[in-house]
Amino acid sequence: MNTTKKPKTALISVFNKDGLAPIVKKLAALNIEIYSTGGTEKFIKNLGINVIPVEDLTSYPSILGGRVKTLHPKVFGGILARRENAEDLSQLATYKIPEIDIVIVDLYPFEKTVESGASEQEIIEKIDIGGISLIRAAAKNFKDVICVSSINQYEDFEKLLSENNGEISLENRKAFAAKAFAVSSNYDTAIFHYLNKNETAFRASFDTVSTLRYGENPHQKGLFYGNLNDLFDKLHGKELSYNNLLDVDAAVNLMNEFKNDTPTFAILKHNNACGLAQRDTLKQAYIDALAGDPTSAFGGVLISNKEIDVATATEIHKLFCEVVIAPSYSNEALAILKGKKNRIILIQKNVQLPNAQYRTALNGILFQDRNNKTDNQSIVTKATDKSPTDKELDDLFFASKICKHTKSNTIVLAKNKQLFASGTGQTSRVDALNQAIEKAKHFGFNLSEAVMASDAFFPFPDCVEIAHNVGIDTIIQPGGSIKDQLSIDYCNKNKMSMIFTGTRHFKH
């Protein structure tokens, strides 16, 4: 059976008229009869093309300030009628309802109205009723009707009409129906999020999807739902992989802690910082970040809080790295970094990161607010007799920011605003500390007068004792253990300083 159909009629009701004119002209050239409403009808008339007002079909004017225009059996009957069903066709003839073969809709811009800060009344008026109903009806009856449900589909639809002299296959009608339900579900999700204040249900919707080379491993399928162009301008390199995206996410979140600070450079591997430093120049910040672990930096993700200049780019170019991220690049620096054809170069836009965080767990979804709490002078309490110096406090807060973005259990060692080493993802806090100490010594760091940060409290004094034995006498930790006093007593006995933040920073 031939499932290709040549449409005879079209109903057009759109908010955004951009790009509509070529489609209307093509429909007219194919002798397709056009029905329309309100502003769209005027737009078509101004093109000098015949158009039938929907009011002439329904014998009802647009009422309630435009809230009701197309919601009528003579419209929806023509869309939903099953062309192979004799009873449906008989009813169309009885009630003088024309078949409608094409429905073109572009919905009221609800999300943009919300983002504009408009009043609640203005926002509610941008909840499209007629348009969403037309989309669902046309998409449901894809066996006979094609639904163009967004301005983003105009170009593809025009091409479809041109290539086949107006004939449209069932495969294409079904594909456009899938897009239509994606549009309608995304629209309803946006309205739900606006109205839902009690978190009674979970809904997520993304219009943009990218097919990745593979998932975490080559045998796994990988997709990214979301629009990376909202966050980055990609200047060069291969496509971002699944693992790249996880590392880029970790890098962006970490550097957000240092966004307005002096030149800061970080190097990440497997979502953890393996190097980070703050210096007077970005070049030196990079060199000292690399010194933290030049082995792990191979194939890593690099991120800066300042424009990358030619001096820094020259140093970076000596390293094989997957991704470089910065707010901007000098022309000379960019030319150098493009010297490796696969190196991904991103400009990070000044966009606020989403506050909501989701991840799958078992047969459901976990939600939490972003960890927006950063340790600082105003929230800490002195736990020991000895107080940290101002310089030590600077290093403590520096280390604490890194600790917050490192996999638990973690211990971070730093000095002079340079990451010396971290113990990451250990089942024991003692193991995390020993890992950090061993690593720092391996790369030649002198731990005397370094500081230590922990993402959670010390249940026993073993960690402060181990730290003291290698020359670390300044500590920041959340506190809150029923045995805090044991660690405090050891610190006081050995003239160490320790401050409590009262905030745990687990990261799993």
Direct distance between the N- and C-terminal alpha carbons of the chain, in angstroms, rounded to an integer:
56
Position 202 scores a pLDDT of 82
**Residue 333, CA distances (Å) to 220, 263, 288, 303, 346 in order:** 36, 16, 19, 14, 13
The residue with tokens 């193991």 is: 431
Position 450 scores a pLDDT of 98
Cα(141)–Cα(126) distance, integer angstroms? 26
Cα(132)–Cα(303) distance, integer angstroms? 43
Cα(337)–Cα(312) distance, integer angstroms? 10
Query: Does the pLDDT at position 66 exceed 80?
Result: no
Give tens-digit pLDDT for 443-456. Answer: 999 999 999 999 99
Helix, strand, coil: what percent of the chain each, to 5? 40, 20, 40
Position 348 scores a pLDDT of 97
Position 204 scores a pLDDT of 83
Residue (of 338, 242, 348, 343) closest to 303 by Cα position: 348
- Read off the pLDDT band of 95 (50, 70, 90): confident
Q: Which of 98-112, 205-219, 353-367, 441-455 has the highest mean pLDDT?
A: 441-455
**CB-based burial label for 389 (10 Å; 0-12, 13-18, 19+):** exposed
CB 412 within 8 A of CB 435: no
Three-state SS for 162? helix
Residue (of 250, 260, 254) closest to 419 by Cα position: 254
Give tens-digit pLDDT for 333-362. Answer: 999 999 999 999 999 999 888 888 999 999
- Read off the pLDDT band of 2 (50, 70, 90): low
Please, what's the b/e burial string for 234-254 (b: 16 or more CB within 10 A of its CB; e: otherwise)? eebbeebbbbbbebbebbbbb
Query: Does the pLDDT at position 256 exceed 70?
Result: yes
Compute the residue count for the chain. Answer: 508
Asked if omega into 46 is within 30° of 0 (cis), the reply is no
What secondary structure, in 3-state letters, does 381-443 show? EECCCECCCHHHHHHHHHHHHHHHCCCCCCEEEEECCEEEEEECCCCCHHHHHHHHHHHHHHC
Position 277 scores a pLDDT of 98
**CB-based burial label for 430 (10 Å; 0-12, 13-18, 19+):** middle
Percentage with pLDDT > 70 across the chain: 99
- Identify the helix (H) or strand (E) that includes residue 477: strand 474-477
Query: Does the pLDDT at position 71 exceed 80?
Result: no
Query: Does the pLDDT at position 93 exceed 70?
Result: yes
Give tens-digit pLDDT for 187-205. Answer: 998 888 888 887 778 888 8
Give tens-digit pLDDT for 365-411. Answer: 899 999 999 999 999 999 999 999 999 999 999 999 999 999 999 99
Cα(14)–Cα(257) distance, integer angstroms? 44
- Identify the helix (H) or strand (E) that includes residue 489: helix 484-493
CB 8 within 8 A of CB 32: yes
Cα(240)–Cα(260) distance, integer angstroms? 27
Q: Phi-psi region for residue 194, left (φ > 0), alpha (ψ -120 to 50) or beta?
A: alpha
Position 55 scores a pLDDT of 86
Percentage with pLDDT > 90 across the chain: 78
CB 381 within 8 A of CB 396: no
Tokens of 467: 């730290």
> CA torsion, points 449, 454, 457, 460, in degrees to nearest 10?
-50
Q: What residues have CB less than 8 Å from 87, skipping those under 6 apart? A: none
Give tens-digit pLDDT for 112-147. Answer: 898 888 998 898 988 888 889 999 999 999 999 999
**DSSP states of 18-57:** TTTHHHHHHHHHTT-EEEE-HHHHHHHHHTT---EEHHHH
Cα(212)–Cα(214) distance, integer angstroms? 5
Position 262 scores a pLDDT of 97
Tokens of 111: 């999300």
Query: Does the pLDDT at position 171 exceed 80?
Result: yes
Tokens of 27: 């429909």
> CA torsion, points 105, 107, 108, 113, in degrees to nearest 10?
-150
E-strand ranges in 226-279 read 232-236, 264-269, 272-278
- Read off the pLDDT band of 165 (50, 70, 90): confident
Which residues have a catalytic role annotated? 140, 270
Phi, psi values for residue 94, rounded to 5°: -60, -45
Position 1 scores a pLDDT of 55
Residue (of 443, 497, 437, 495) closest to 470 by Cα position: 437
Averaged pLDDT of the chain: 93
